[in-house]
Amino acid sequence: MSSSSTPEHPGDEASRVALEEVEEAESLLEQHLPKAERALGERGGGGRGRRGGLITLAWGLPGFLWLGFFLVAPLVFIVLVSFWTTTSTGFDSSRWTLHNYGVLLHPFSLNNAYWENMLRSFETSVIAVAACLVFGFPVAYFLAMKVQKLQYQIALFILALAPFWTSFTTRSVAWTYPLMGSQGALNQALTWLGVSSLNHPLLDTQFSLLSVRLAMIQLYILFMVTPIFFLLAQVDRHAIEAARDLGGNWLKTFREVILPQTMPGIVIGSIFIFVLTMGEYGTVNVISQGAVSSVGTYIQNLTAGIQYPQGAAAAVMLVLVLILGVFGITRFANLREEV
């Protein structure tokens, strides 16, 4: 008899039957497991989920109420006031009009005082953001990448925070008189170097636009250093070593490894500085003593003159410009994916 007619080995037959039983059991589990999971979720986890949601709501409700009362409500009120009608004796809240916006938008030209100040403030904000990035990034890089011990990092970072231990107004006044001006420390240093003289200073830093912009860079640079420092501290050192092992020089390693991981910090710092400097009026008044105006001082003058509808309309337009500016900044990085 040929070998083809020989019956299969009993062990092989048993293995095949066992394998079929296992496959059948798996198919049954796949059919009934989702129902069991849903039942367990409905009976066991539903109550805990609802309780967790109520606890989260209780924790978040005070913050939402705070923001709603002190942030959302004033913004809504400003928008409503911007539609009030201006009268000879003040304003009429019962009659709404678009005239306040028409004064700002028609004619839309740079000869309009409001848009002149808006453009000047925008230039100042862009300069402040760029300068804070140029001067602040090396500081953050040194603290996070070159200082190895955590204790030294914290100590140096606290030292960088030292200017914020004093009030904002005090720092502005200190910047104005001892540092700036024809007799200030800056021009005296230039005189000592032989590139300027006290009678004919090289830099016009006395109540000028230059002094305002320099002061804003010094006052707001820490808003750029802080987020970049914390993100640089989280950069994977192994990725940097791998890039160097693959032949990348410092510039290429920085561009391909470090910069993408710190881009969210750059964007966050840029947003902070742009928003804060765009509507700034306190620093402008203190530093320039009224010699320089901005969109913030323009709005402040309107409200000081009890021209609330016009001032509210100007503030709403400023908020819209800020929203467009923030949207433009966020286009440089996808914060949702990179943070």
Sign of the Cα torsion 185, 187, 188, 189 reads positive
pLDDT tens-digit map of 171-209: 777 777 667 666 677 777 777 777 766 666 666 667 788
More confident residue, 286 or 28: 286
Burial 58-79 (b: 16+ CB within 10 A, else e): eeeeeeeeeeeeeeeeeeeebe
Q: What is the reported pTM?
A: 0.75
Helix (H) or strand (E) holding 96: strand 90-96
The DSSP string of 205-222 is -SSSHHHHHHHHHHHHTH
pLDDT at 277 over 70: yes
Structural domains in the chain plus CATH codes: 109-338 (1.10.3720.10)
pLDDT band at 269 (very low <50, low <70, confident <90, very high): very high
Report d(CA 204, CA 181) in Å as an integer.
7
For the chain, first and last CA: distance in Å? 76
Identify the burial level of 324 via C-beta atoms within 10 angstroms of its C-beta, where 0-12 means exposed, 13-18 middle and 19 or more buried: exposed
Average pLDDT of the residues in 237-264: 83
DSSP structure string for 73-95: HHHHHHHHHTTEEEETTEEEEEE
| pLDDT band, residue 320 (cuts 50/70/90) | very high
Give the mean pLDDT of 15-28.
Answer: 64
CA dist 25 and 300 (Å) reads 77
